[in-house]
Structure 1
Amino acid sequence: METNLTDQKQHTPKDYKNGSAVRWCPGCGDHAILNCLHKALAELNLEPHEIAVISGIGCSSRLPYYMNTYGMHSIHGRASAIATGVKTANPALSVWVATGDGDSLAIGGNHFIHAIRRNVDINIILFNNKIYGLTKGQYSPTSEKGFISKSSPYGTVEEPFNPAELCFGARGTFFGRAIDVDLKNLTDLMVASAKHKGTSVMEVLQNCVIFNDGIHSKIADKAFRAERTIVLQQGKKMLFGANNEKGIVAEKNLQLKAVTIGQDGYTLDDVLVHDATTKDSTLHFKLARMGYENDLPVALGVIRDVQAPTFEDEYEKQIEEVQKKMPKKTFTDFLMGSDNVWELK
């Protein structure tokens, strides 16, 4: 399915739209994610027939209906497993998974972590609105402890999942994060994900205007987004703030700290430089956890991006090695082989 780039036209976002009426609530963050995916695919200039979008069940999982590509609206929690099969059967396809925090982290939790562990070359867009939207407002695996919902009227007593922790625990090779209202960074993250060879997990902090409106407003609002988030860029200083006057430093105990440059003895030289490609995930893990249990900005952008063998490449390699050692047989030879035939006397 290789395309001759010299003969290939430059695609635009509309080439990936199929004309179907988008049936999400007005103001839902899903609209922004869909538009950014169209833009990212146009930037990558992939042919529509080179793309497959797989989803599970939930509001996010309607996304394949709005794509002029191959697609499958599958069953609850199984999108990562089905995407694994699609990629293994046709490694030439660019495979994308649209899933929610309930679909992928609850019933689909095992499929999610094992796809990451296997490092299948798929792109997982995890819509995280910390609520079950399609089933009308029950708490999800990412809802904060104490969250009041239809299924937890007195507040949930459960500790939430942090998607980054699951990704790193499964030895993930790519993790990034974006906010639905930050279209540029979200599009850039999708492009970086597609260029990564292996499982890419993109956590998108997405708003549900009906059942969990404003859940990410403390960091998404433009009035203070620059102060409460940091967009990490490869090879650049970890700076944030309205005028990039703040930075992330590492203390002697390896704890991360947000400082103002020029105050308390901290200079620009003390600020860490982001390297998403280092194999050691220690710093990546700490960056991904910022803002959850500490007084630090939430990290956005590509947090981890390392190379490792992919499942489908290793699978194909194994098949080739076995075929070299064994003579090729027809299907009839296989059926009539001594191990598969019984003689009745």
Structure 2
Amino acid sequence: MTIEQHSMVGHDLLDALSDVPKTDETMKPKDFTSDQEVRWCPGCGDYVILAAVRQVLPKLGIKRENVAFISGIGCSSRFPYYLETYGVHSIHGRAPTIASGLATTRPDLSVWVITGDGDALSIGGNHLIHALRRNVNMRVLMFNNRIYGLTKGQYSPTSEEGKVTKSTPMGSIDHPFNTLSLALGAQGSFVARALDSDRTVLTEVLMAAALHRGTAFVEILQDCPIFNDGSFDVLRKEEAPDHLIHVRHGEKILFGTDDQWCVVQQGFGLAVRATADVDEADIIVHDAHADDPGYAQALASLSSQDLQYTVVGIIRQVTRPTYDDQAREQVAQAKDAETRDLQALLNGTNTWTVE
């Protein structure tokens, strides 16, 4: 999908790149490919995600030197090495913090965060939720393989209950995060999910995230063939259509090989029903732009840890003020203000003279 197509169906999407210098050159994926050898395990889903990002970046029409990728610690965090852009391989869980500072001080950059389910939701959980709350103009791609890969196979904050790993030999007793619900609860203005092997949906989501002004959170379900092989197989095999609920704004939520399943209202939430058993007027039409996050939360809640149902696509996409725009505005106002006496500034308004 092109930028022009997104401008017709999106929600103030083009504002995301309004301050980023454009290029007249025709860019190709190879222009965003560095000379570094890609070093992930054979079969890792990271390869597919890297290829998809390389496909999207040229379509944005911006200069390579105005793109920055910030990563934390984990397998996914090697990402910046493999792109011919600026990048920082930072510290565990702190990529959103570094990216927030960069996005706030450099509006001429397209800033991306690359993180994993362990990096983002354990030690980095606090940083992630505040970035989402502040709505800093950046993209957060969270690779979720439901395991700690770099540290060799311990359970993560998204591992399903009962998961047997090196750190949970009797099965995990932790209840995993519903990542979409977490992002929505932190007031995320753009929340989406894609599957690494579904190139169409992945590219669609990445393009929309790249153009969204605010924090765009994208969870990408990807396989770890070494420590959690086959964790998402139910979403890839022949029966996948009965488990994947792909939502698109303005379209009825139907899924299954022959659209035999649909989503309808049930009480204050949503439920899956056989399409043949409901009135067509009762089938939910997806509204990613709804101001009330309650609908998006109900949609996110359809996703279950056993993968009976997994919602993919853009769940929520709304416009609200960004932290960085407002911070720069305050700085500009302070610079334009009448110069005050230095001693008065040092004293402030809460000083006393003790006699």
Change (3 A) 1:296 1:25: closer
The residue that corresponds to 2:155 in the other structure is 139
**TM superposition score normalised by structure 2:** 0.88
SS for the counterpart of 1:84 is helix
> Partner amino acid for 1:289?
S
Q: Does 1:300 align with 2:315?
A: no
- Matches for 1:145-160 after TM superposition, within 5 Å: 145-160=161-176
Q: Percent identity?
A: 44
The residue that corresponds to 1:85 in the other structure is 101
Separation of aligned partners in 2, 1:3 and 1:89: 15
Q: 1:33-71 CA deviation, whole Å, 9 max, x = no partner? A: 111111111222222112100000000000000000000
Q: 1:4-46 CA deviation, whole Å, 9 max, x = no partner? A: 56xx123211111112110000100000111111111122222
Q: Does 1:248 align with 2:263?
A: yes
**TM superposition score normalised by structure 1:** 0.90
The residue that corresponds to 1:343 in the other structure is none
Q: Judge conservation of contact 2:243–2:307 (CA < 8 Å) in 1.
A: no
Q: In the TM superposition, what is the alpha-carbon distance from 1:270 to its structure 2 partner? A: 1.8
Q: In the TM superposition, what is the alpha-carbon distance from 1:295 to its structure 2 partner? A: 8.9
Change (3 A) 1:185 1:242: same
- The structure 2 residue matched to 1:55, chosen from 54, 71, 81, is 71
> Partner amino acid for 2:333?
E
Deviates more, 1:313-322 or 1:302-311: 313-322
Q: Judge conservation of contact 1:130–1:140 (CA < 8 Å) in 2.
A: yes
The residue that corresponds to 2:271 in the other structure is 257
Q: Judge conservation of contact 1:40–1:188 (CA < 8 Å) in 2.
A: no
Q: 1:233-257 CA deviation, whole Å, 9 max, x = no partner? A: 1111111111223211113x13322
Q: In the TM superposition, what is the alpha-carbon distance from 1:294 to its structure 2 partner? A: 9.0
Q: In the TM superposition, what is the alpha-carbon distance from 1:291 to its structure 2 partner? A: 2.9
Which runs of no fewer than 5 residues in structure 2 stay unpaired? 1-18, 348-355
Q: Does 1:276 align with 2:276?
A: no
Q: Judge conservation of contact 1:276–1:305 (CA < 8 Å) in 2.
A: yes
Change (3 A) 1:146 1:320: same
The residue that corresponds to 2:242 in the other structure is 227
The residue that corresponds to 1:177 in the other structure is 193
The residue that corresponds to 1:27 in the other structure is 43
- The structure 2 residue matched to 1:197, chosen from 213, 218, 236, is 213
SS for the counterpart of 1:214 is coil
Separation of aligned partners in 2, 1:137 and 1:61: 17
Q: Judge conservation of contact 2:160–2:176 (CA < 8 Å) in 1.
A: yes
Q: 1:223-280 CA deviation, whole Å, 9 max, x = no partner? A: 11211111111111111111223211113x133222222x33x133221111101110
Change (3 A) 1:4 1:256: closer
Q: Judge conservation of contact 1:20–1:65 (CA < 8 Å) in 2.
A: yes
- The structure 2 residue matched to 1:166, chosen from 160, 178, 182, is 182
Separation of aligned partners in 1, 2:113 and 2:282: 39
Separation of aligned partners in 1, 2:103 and 2:269: 39
The residue that corresponds to 2:135 in the other structure is 119
Deviates more, 1:81-90 or 1:165-174: 165-174
RMSD over aligned Cα atoms: 2.0
SS for the counterpart of 1:203 is strand
- The structure 2 residue matched to 1:313, chosen from 322, 325, 344, is 325
Number of residue pairs matched by the alignment: 329
> Partner amino acid for 2:264?
V
Q: 1:310-334 CA deviation, whole Å, 9 max, x = no partner? A: 0110101111222232329xxxx97
Q: In the TM superposition, what is the alpha-carbon distance from 1:216 to its structure 2 partner? A: 1.3
Q: 1:142-177 CA deviation, whole Å, 9 max, x = no partner? A: 111221111111112211112112211211111000
Separation of aligned partners in 2, 1:249 and 1:293: 21
Structure 1 runs of 4+ aligned residues shifted over 4 Å read: 293-296
Change (3 A) 1:106 1:122: same
SS for the counterpart of 2:311 is strand
Separation of aligned partners in 1, 2:135 and 2:158: 23
Separation of aligned partners in 2, 1:108 and 1:174: 19
Deviates more, 1:156-165 or 1:175-184: 156-165
Q: Judge conservation of contact 2:145–2:221 (CA < 8 Å) in 1.
A: yes
Q: Judge conservation of contact 2:262–2:274 (CA < 8 Å) in 1.
A: yes
Q: 1:276-302 CA deviation, whole Å, 9 max, x = no partner? A: 011101110111121316996311010
Q: Judge conservation of contact 2:189–2:316 (CA < 8 Å) in 1.
A: yes
Q: 1:54-103 CA deviation, whole Å, 9 max, x = no partner? A: 00000000000000000000011110000011111101110001100010
Separation of aligned partners in 1, 2:189 and 2:35: 35
Which runs of no fewer than 5 residues in structure 1 stay unpaired? 341-345
SS for the counterpart of 1:151 is coil
